[in-house]
Amino acid sequence: MNELATTTALQNQLLQEPFGEYSWILNILFYAIFIVFIFYGQRIQMYIMLREVEGSLYKLRYIKDEGRKTAIETIKEIGKPQADPTARVDRFLEYFTISPQSLDPAGVVWKLEHILDVRDTRFKDEVKLMAPAADETQANNLENTLEAAMALNYIYKIIRHFYLLGKKTLSLYIIMQIQMILPLVMREAEAYASALKAFAYGQPIGDGAGALVAAKLMHGNEIRKIPKDCVVATVPIEGRTAHVIKAEGPGGNVGKIGEAVKIIIEENEGKIATIIMVDAALKLEGEVVGEVAEGVGAAIGGPGVDQFKIEESILKYRIPVNAVIIKEDIGDAVSPMRKEILDATDKAIERIKQVILERTKEGDRVIIAGAGNTIGISP
Instruction: Give the highest mean pLDDT range of 34-38, 292-296, 334-338.
Output: 292-296
The predicted model gives 131-138 an average pLDDT of: 86
Q: What is the pLDDT of residue 195?
A: 83
Cα end-to-end distance, the chain, whole Å: 95
Query: Residue 264 forms beta bridges with which residues?
Result: none
Q: What is the pLDDT of residue 136?
A: 85
- Three-state secondary structure call for residue 365: strand
CB 143 within 8 A of CB 40: no
* The pLDDT of residue 3 is above 90: no
Instruction: Please spell the DSSP secondary structure of 126-188, one letter per residue.
Output: HHHHH-TT--HHHHHHHHHHHHHHHHHHHHHHHHHHHHHHHHHHT-HHHHHHHHHHHHHHHHH
The model's pLDDT over 46-68, given as tens digits with 9 standing for 90+, comes to: 788 888 888 889 999 999 999 89
> How many residues are given for the chain?
379
Of 246, 171, 180, 165, give the one whose Cα is nearest residue 212.
246
Kindly indicate the confidence band of residue 32, based on its pLDDT and cuts at 50, 70 and 90. confident
The model's pLDDT over 159-194, given as tens digits with 9 standing for 90+, comes to: 999 989 988 888 888 888 888 888 888 988 988 888
CA-to-CA separations, 51 to 56, 100, 167, 171, in angstroms, rounded:
9, 39, 10, 14
- Contacts for 224-232 with beta carbons within 8 Å, 24 or more apart? 226/260, 226/263, 226/264, 227/256, 227/259, 227/260, 227/263, 228/255, 228/256, 228/259, 228/260, 229/253, 229/254, 229/255, 229/256, 230/255, 230/256, 230/257, 230/259, 230/260, 231/379, 232/260, 232/264
CA-to-CA separations, 113 to 96, 104, 110, 118, in angstroms, rounded:
16, 16, 5, 9
Q: How far apart are CA 161 and CA 53, in angstroms?
A: 11
DSSP secondary structure code for residue 296 in this structure:
E
Q: What is the pLDDT of residue 81?
A: 85
Kindly indicate the confidence band of residue 21, based on its pLDDT and cuts at 50, 70 and 90. low
Share of the chain above pLDDT 70, in %: 91
Kindly indicate the confidence band of residue 138, based on its pLDDT and cuts at 50, 70 and 90. confident
Of 9-23, 148-162, 202-216, which gets the smallest average pLDDT? 9-23
Give the helix ranges, DSSP H, for the chain. 2-74, 86-93, 108-130, 136-169, 172-201, 209-218, 257-267, 305-317, 330-334, 339-359
Kindly indicate the confidence band of residue 286, based on its pLDDT and cuts at 50, 70 and 90. confident
- Contacts for 84-90 with beta carbons within 8 Å, 24 or more apart? 85/130, 85/131, 88/126, 88/129, 88/130, 89/130, 89/146, 89/149
Kindly indicate the confidence band of residue 261, based on its pLDDT and cuts at 50, 70 and 90. very high
Of 305, 301, 308, give the one whose Cα is nearest residue 326.
301
- Three-state secondary structure call for residue 225: strand
Q: What is the pLDDT of residue 83?
A: 85
